[in-house]
Amino acid sequence: MADSPLPETDDRTPIENPALYQAGKQLFLKAGSQILRAWSAEGVKLCRDIVPATGFVCGVVGPSAKILAMQEITADELLDECKQRIGRIVEARPDAILIQSITDVEEAVLCLRAARESCKLKVGVSMTYGSGVEQAETVMGQGCEEVTRRLVDEGADLVGCDCGAAVDESVLIVRLMRQATQLPIAVFPDAGQRELHDDKIVYVETPQDFASKAPSLVAAGADIIGGCCGVSPDHITCLAGVVRECGAP
């Protein structure tokens, strides 16, 4: 089980309000998360301080704000930028690196190479799908199976999917990934579909509904289940209960 990034505590908060950041992460540990994800060196350090010896801290590398395919950045520049970001994160001693929320496999491959050149840690790559007829493509139109095979060829230690898909769509994505690899698979679904309520974005799935679908993710081949948008500590509490019941590790 992995935590979900709380938007209000996962961006500038590690620097501006470390106590609030750690309190948010503590809620996920209490809920049953065994893996904490942090998007910065500061976040990794704060997670390191609170994670139990059996727990795991992943330093997360998210997408660049610039798009390769639009030539907003060159491959060499992106590689350098990733190496700098990963270098800072590695100094904070994470247990592993997770490249996450990437929508272009070419960017993912460059991040993976940068991680390989920056550290000896295990490196996972989680892509954002949710496009295409079956919602199993990236916004770039890259299909989940071909992306997975490419990441395996490039030496990823784990593959995954996060964001852009709820549990229902993620089941198919995980199944397709499983057909393409025997590597560990991580899945971080959103809490249902995104809806606009009074100008506020909400995710509609209750913790119980979210968790009740977890066995289908396990059956499809998921090894690590976490959460993305709209997933609260209560969702993780329910998820932990259901996953334990269905006998998954």
Cα-based angle 61, 229, 55 (whole degrees, multiple of 5): 60
- Which residue lies nearer to Zn ion by CB, 211 or 228? 228
User: How many residues of this chain interact with Zn ion, rule: CB under 5 A?
Assistant: 4
CA atoms within 13 A on the CB side of 241: 12
Under the criterion CB under 5 A, does residue 163 sit at the interface with Zn ion?
yes
* C-beta of 149 vs 206, nearer to Zn ion: 206
Q: How far is the CB of 107 from Zn ion (least distance, A)?
A: 18
Least Å distance between CB 190 and Zn ion?
Answer: 4
CA dihedral of 68, 123, 184, 214, whole degrees rounded to 10: -70
- Tokens (6 digits) for 216: 């289908």
SS3 helix, strand, coil % of the chain, rounded to 5?
A: 45, 20, 35
**Using CB under 5 A, which of 229, 236, 242, 243 touches Zn ion?**
229
Considering only the stretches 91-99, 156-164, 168-176, 236-244, report the one whose residues sit in contact with Zn ion under the rule CB under 5 A.
Answer: 156-164
Of the candidates 104, 169, 190, 205, which one interacts with Zn ion according to CB under 5 A? 190
Stretch of residues binding Zn ion (CB under 5 A), selected from 3-11, 81-89, 118-126, 182-190? 182-190
Applying CB under 5 A, which of residues 228, 231, 240, 243 lies at the interface with Zn ion? 228
Q: Does 78 bind Zn ion (CB under 5 A)?
A: no
Interacting span for Zn ion (CB under 5 A) from 7-15, 36-44, 168-176, 225-233: 225-233
Q: Is 165 in the site for Zn ion (CB under 5 A)?
A: no
Q: What is the DSSP string of 193-242?
A: -EEEETTEEEE---HHHHHHTHHHHHHHT-SEE---TT--HHHHHHHHHH
Interface segment toward Zn ion; rule CB under 5 A; list 105-113, 178-186, 189-197, 215-223: 189-197
29/237 Cα distance (integer angstroms):
9
Please give the distance of CA 234 from its chain centroid, rounded to a whole number.
Answer: 18
Which stretches of the chain bind Zn ion, using CB under 5 A? 163, 190, 228-229
